[in-house]
Amino acid sequence: MATEIERKFLVKGDFSKQVSKSERIVQGYICSQPGRTVRVRIRGKEGFLTIKGASDEKGLSRYEFEQKIPPADAEELLKLCEPGAIDKVRNLVPVGKHTWEVDVFHGDNEGLILAEIELESEDEPFERPDWVGQEVSGDRRYYNSMLTKHPYKQW
């Protein structure tokens, strides 16, 4: 089983000069119940189906299965998703030996900017750039599946 280990932070400064690549992402959830999510995503011109399990106590690790699917299938599956969708631009920002994923949200989550870093282990050291603010790993309000139900603009 694949385990995803990631930490999530609010962004407090300008990261734009360090961006190596940007892509629009649109995603929805076929299932977003506590302990499991089934997500459909279109990233750029590619489609993906992702299943995620429950997060650990700290909110850092969880089971993740992701499969590439034809974009036309992803478009059709998005029609089956629960109400609410995520629309964001993902920016890749290399820092040290890691690449940060900085998501700038649009639509109902406009104004929210989150930075995520994937790690090999929960205690792996990493370089924290000055534009990275408060850590929100494990804060369910910032899970994409929760942002579809309780958008940032309504907080």
| Residue 147, Cβ density class (10 Å: 0-12 exposed, 13-18 middle, ≥19 buried) | buried
- Torsions phi, psi for 19 (to 5 deg): -70, 130
- Bridge partners, 94 (sequence order): 99
Contacts of 88 (CB under 8 A, 6+ apart): 24, 25, 103, 104, 105, 106, 109
Q: How many CA atoms lie within 13 A of 19 on its CB side?
A: 15
d(CA 124, CA 122): 6
Q: Contact at 8 Å (CB) between 146 and 152?
A: no
Catalytic, 143? Answer no
Residues identified as active-site: 29
